[in-house]
Amino acid sequence: MNSGLTLQRATQYVLLRQNKPARPPRRAFRCTASAILMATLGVLITTTSGQATRARRVHTHTIVVGSPPGALNSILNEVLWTPFARSTRQRITTVAWSGTLPAPEHRTGKEPRGPALLLAADDAAAAGCHDGVFLTPAAGTSGDAGLCAVPALSLDFALAWDTSRFHGKPDWTDFWDVARHPGKRGLRADPRGTLEAALLSDGVPPDALYRVLSTPDGIDRAFRRLTQLRPYVVWWNTPAEAMKILTTGAALMGMAAMTDIFGINAATPEPGFGVSTFPLFRISYDWVLLPDTTSNGATSGTDAITALRTWITRPEQKQALSARMPSAEDSTVNQAAGHPPATIPHMPPAIPLNNAFWRDHLNVIQPRFSQWLSEH
């Protein structure tokens, strides 16, 4: 797909939904990040809608929740959506962002109406809030009045591999060494995290990644490493896609979310995928509200979804969610990956993607990365 055309259509779609003319962005990064966000978010796919007889009862108060597809959604349903629906008798419909936005005329009119609660990567959420893509709750409607993006959770991404095809424990240097370890590799179709992995494979220490990336020579170095690997890369956009590449045998190794690795290994008698827990790449996510012009001006839906966001961000809910998220220190994950609990070393903290760096450099690096991808 032509990335430029995707961004253009996505931007036009957002402007139609807001029913207002385009206005010049205040900063180049915000414009770029918002376009990337809306091109990445994508078609809503209903995952918990009922049968046809139940569909007739869907009304404007139905809360629509969107998040990246993957194993995380079963955790969210268990810890958040089911308890909230049980205690409030409020219907919640979960949806997934599939990667491309439909044209406005493709809407059937049968979707649940009202604003949607979305789980978005925090850098994309910040850009969308700045450009008016997401709503800021009105004062007095929730305890977090005046905030647009509310911190939700973090996902740790690790180097994972098919243990039936690779014996041992590879690092990022092995990931790039297709001569010694033939096979495809799974990587995120985004410079964020991908350039960092490229530099790790080239011997850059984790604590020096952003110091190197902050120089033109460092960026060139990362792209040279990516060019070496490009014929062997299978690209993904969501955590679910990353894990599917591994489970279908499309790649020998790949970067994948710990939630998905844990879910696959826990569901099988023998661990199918090993995981290298250092270094991990940590991506933080926020809860944001997406306006829906089909709500016919109704405010009750907005109140309900804002109440839900307030409830899920209370300390007790955040603690329950954190307890269900796998981490590098989780012995269950390590055991599932083939590491006996008695031999688990103390794991250093993950490497958070440096949002300050990407806020300052994404508007330059993203066009170069998109052009580089198109040169296949």
Give the span between the Cα atoms of 364 and 357, in whole angstroms: 12
Q: Tell me if 295 sits within 8 A of 113, measured CB to CB.
A: yes
Q: How far is CA 269 from the centre of its chain?
A: 28
Q: Can you give the pTM of this predicted structure?
A: 0.71
Dihedral of CA atoms 290, 293, 294, 296 in degrees, nearest 10, equals 120
Does pLDDT of 128 surpass 60? Answer: yes
Higher pLDDT, 7 or 97: 97
Give the span between the Cα atoms of 206 and 347, in whole angstroms: 14
Characterise 296 by phi-psi region: left (phi > 0), alpha (psi -120 to 50), beta (else). Answer: left
Residue with tokens 């055309």: 5
For each of the domains in the chain, give its residue range(s) and CATH number, in order of start.
3-153+284-324 (3.40.190), 154-283+326-373 (3.40.190.10)
The strand pair at 351-352 and 273-290 is best described as: parallel
Question: Which residues face 274 on adjacent strands?
Answer: 161
Give the span between the Cα atoms of 200 and 42, in whole angstroms: 31
- pLDDT tens-digit series, residues 326-354: 765 543 344 444 433 323 334 446 777 88
Give the span between the Cα atoms of 160 and 60, in whole angstroms: 43
Tell me which range, 102-116, 167-181, 262-276, is most confidently predicted by mean pLDDT.
Answer: 167-181
Residue 330, Cβ neighbours under 10 Å: how many? 16
The strand pair at 185-188 and 253-257 is best described as: parallel
Give the span between the Cα atoms of 149 and 235, in whole angstroms: 28
Higher pLDDT, 151 or 25: 151
CA distance readout (Å), 361 to 38, 75, 195: 19, 34, 12
Residue 371: name the closest of 237, 199, 227 by CA: 227
Exposure class string for 335-365: b at 16+ Cβ within 10 A, else e? ebbebeeeebeeeeebbebbbebbbebbbeb
pLDDT band with cut points at 50, 70 and 90 for residue 68: confident
- pLDDT tens-digit series, residues 350-374: 777 888 898 889 889 999 999 999 9
Q: Tell me if 266 sits within 8 A of 337, measured CB to CB.
A: no
Give the span between the Cα atoms of 219 and 229, in whole angstroms: 16
Per DSSP, 211 falls in state H
State the angle between helix axes of 355-373 and 3-18 in degrees (0 to 180), rounded to the nearest 10. 130
- pLDDT tens-digit series, residues 195-205: 999 999 999 99
pLDDT of residue 342: 29
pLDDT of residue 227: 96
Q: Tell me if 193 sits within 8 A of 351, measured CB to CB.
A: no
pLDDT of residue 93: 86
Helix (H, G, I), strand (E, B) or coil at 246: helix
